[in-house]
Structure 1
Amino acid sequence: MSPHRIALLFNANKVYDRQVISGIGQYLTSTRVTWDLFMEEDFRSRTVGIHLWRGDGIIADFDDPLVCEALASSPIPVVAVGGSYADDSQYPANTPYVATDNHKLVRLAYDHLIEQGLQRFAFYGLPPAPGNRWACERELAFKRMIDADDLEGIVYRGSSTSAGGWGRAQEEMVEWVRSLPKPIGIIAVTDARARQLLQACVVADVPVPEQIAIVGIDNDPIAQLLSRIPLTSVIQGAEEMGRMAAQVLHQMLHGGDCSTTRILVPPVGINVQATSLHQPMKSAYVMRARHYIRQYACLGIKTEQVADYVGISRTLLEEHFKRELKQSVHQTILEHKLGIARTMLADSSIPLTDVAIRSGFTSLQYMYAVFRREFNCTPRQFMENVRSH
């Protein structure tokens, strides 16, 4: 029996789309289903000529309005993947739909910020546009949660990202960050927006997370790699969405009527990192110092550089640290470097030498010595212990 020919219309430059595609692949490898998959060579979603395609089925990203329009009258089975809607009329008619649960994504971020003791909240979204309906749904979910708790929520949409307008957009964001009541927790509609917000906080010299705690959505490794401070992010169930979409299409290809099927997939969880771990600080000096340490600890900074940044003497800064954190500036720097190293050791693809360099140790030998002193084990033993659990 010849395999079914299936088209996947996704933009794999986005982590969400890549994970959905990965979930489709997992379904195929875990079953006896055999599909001949069509995707553009550059993994972009293009609808030009899709009506001429003579395949057996399509799985597509319906967050893209052009895709919705192009497939509205498709004669072959189509499974839609996209964001959830509070208004049922927003879903495409007579098309099975697998959705990420936008309400639960925002709820997970919001509850986490509440658990950090925060009482003020904001949302950094996207400007309204046909392709941003999913972002508007997340903003709406945020507003409903704030209203239910009788709180005042601030919404900032900013500008669309473009090279030409980026300078002005960042200036406006810096002004917004400075104008906010503090401390405050901010939910960003994606990790990409969270990274922009984090950059604006750095430029505005606003300590993260003491003054502004940030949570993104996507758990995008690229956004993490490009962020000076590790980013807290909600993990979407995108791979499960891909598996479910493939299962529904498989049923349709074998005569199943799935036209009214609608599946909401909840988030997997939240990857908690430094940007959201809000701790109120009595000393403004300690707050500024820790903000600087989070950005530059892995570049080999010394206590003197931290004191210069804060604008007081090393002795006075040490007194503030001992009083508030019960440890020295050096110990705080080392603690941050060890935290980064431990996170990287959990990833088997990163060589130990790279872990040492990227976490700010001068050599692999020095990292070994510090691990033996602090944890009574070597980095390799620590790594093996983490991966065995």
Structure 2
Amino acid sequence: MSDQPGSNGSTGEVAAGALAPWSVGTLDPPPRWGLRSWVADLPKPVGILASNDSLAFEIMETCQLLGARVPEEVAVLGVNNYTEVCDLATPPLSSIEMNTERIGYEAARLLDRFMAHRSLPKSPVLVAPTRVIMRQSTDIVAVTDQRIAAAVRFIRHHAHEGIRVHDVLRAVPMARRTLETGFRQTFGRSPLAEIRRMRIERAKDLLERTDLPVEQVADRCGFKDVKRLYVAFRPLTGMTPARWRRLFRLGRTPPPPRRPGKKTGKRARATRAGRE
């Protein structure tokens, strides 16, 4: 992704597997009058990460004036997730949601330490963003095979409806073997695994930003019952849905899932005993 324009950055290209080349770089914001020429001169397709939603909105308006399609030619991502700005943009703007509650807590904690004449940390206190709120300004799949790209888009938009692989093939006609091979070569997983992954992503979002019971979360993500949500959730996250919600509410970043490996200790002995 390209950050903002200026004189001290460089622009390169990246290509990985079937991913189309996208410009990358770290640049400084131009004067407002220079934004139009900067966007016009960018190699396309390009992704732009703006420092805030207002600047991202201006970039999208500039793209409209230039006739540059968002997100097909220019994908735009803002910061702060100000819904009044994001929803007014055309198309709606994707944005990084900051963990403002945690930022406020850490600021108050530092102020308390300062007023109590206690030592302060020597390095900055970093607070990770909450998540990326995906909207249409980044709804692009950088895949050269247009049928595979269409299949991914269909899965993104309909995974929570309980779709199966045959539904994908009905929406994007091709041989099942072609679909399976394309997904494994491009993403390293099967179409079914991608459907499950998108359901879990939606489940994580609902667990984080709503108080819905886990049973309702399962229903809204396309699972027939809550048990199936639990079975699918743990391998991809390393924990139960309830624990994921608790960690998020405490302001902690959930750890990455443990990779399956050789069993050791009591679990290994129990497995061997079961086989015997």
Q: TM-score, normalised by structure 2?
A: 0.51
The verdict on how the C-alpha distance between 1:373 and 1:223 changes in structure 2, with shifts beyond 3 A counting, is farther
Other-structure match for 2:182:
320
State the 1:334 CA deviation. 0.8
> Counterparts of 1:348 and 1:295 in 2: how far apart (Å)?
20
The one of 152, 161, 173 equivalent to 2:40 is: 152
Considering only aligned residues, what root-mean-square deviation do their CA atoms show, in Å?
5.0
The verdict on how the C-alpha distance between 1:368 and 1:210 changes in structure 2, with shifts beyond 3 A counting, is farther
Contact 1:371 1:377 in 2 (8 A): yes
Structure 1 segment 1-389 matched on structure 2, within 5 A? 110=4, 118-119=22-23, 144-145=34-35, 147=37, 150-152=38-40, 183-185=45-47, 213-215=75-77, 219-220=81-82, 232-233=94-95, 272-275=132-135, 276=138, 280-347=142-209, 349-388=211-250, 389=252
Number of aligned residue pairs: 195
Fraction of identical pairs, as percent:
23
1:272-321 CA deviation, whole Å, 9 max, x = no partner?
Answer: 34453866323222211111111111111211121222221222111111
Paired amino acid for 2:206? M
State the 1:357 CA deviation. 2.1
> Counterparts of 2:3 and 2:85 in 1: how far apart (Å)?
17
State the 1:350 CA deviation. 3.0
The verdict on how the C-alpha distance between 1:383 and 1:116 changes in structure 2, with shifts beyond 3 A counting, is farther
State the 1:335 CA deviation. 0.8
The verdict on how the C-alpha distance between 1:296 and 1:230 changes in structure 2, with shifts beyond 3 A counting, is farther
Q: Which has the larger radius of gyration?
A: 1
Paired amino acid for 1:144? G
Gaps of 5+ in 1: 1-107, 121-139, 155-180, 198-205, 240-267
- Which structure's relative contact order is higher, taking Cα pairs within 8 Å and 6+ residues apart? 1
Gaps of 5+ in 2: 6-10, 15-21, 25-29, 62-68, 102-127, 253-276
Partner of 1:372, secondary structure, is helix
State the 1:151 CA deviation. 4.7
Which structure carries more strand by proportion?
1
Partner of 2:209, secondary structure, is coil
> Counterparts of 1:224 and 1:365 in 2: how far apart (Å)?
36
Paired amino acid for 2:34? R
> Counterparts of 2:236 and 2:131 in 1: how far apart (Å)?
25
> Counterparts of 1:357 and 1:212 in 2: how far apart (Å)?
35
Paired amino acid for 1:272? V
The verdict on how the C-alpha distance between 1:345 and 1:308 changes in structure 2, with shifts beyond 3 A counting, is same
The verdict on how the C-alpha distance between 1:348 and 1:317 changes in structure 2, with shifts beyond 3 A counting, is closer
Contact 1:300 1:360 in 2 (8 A): yes
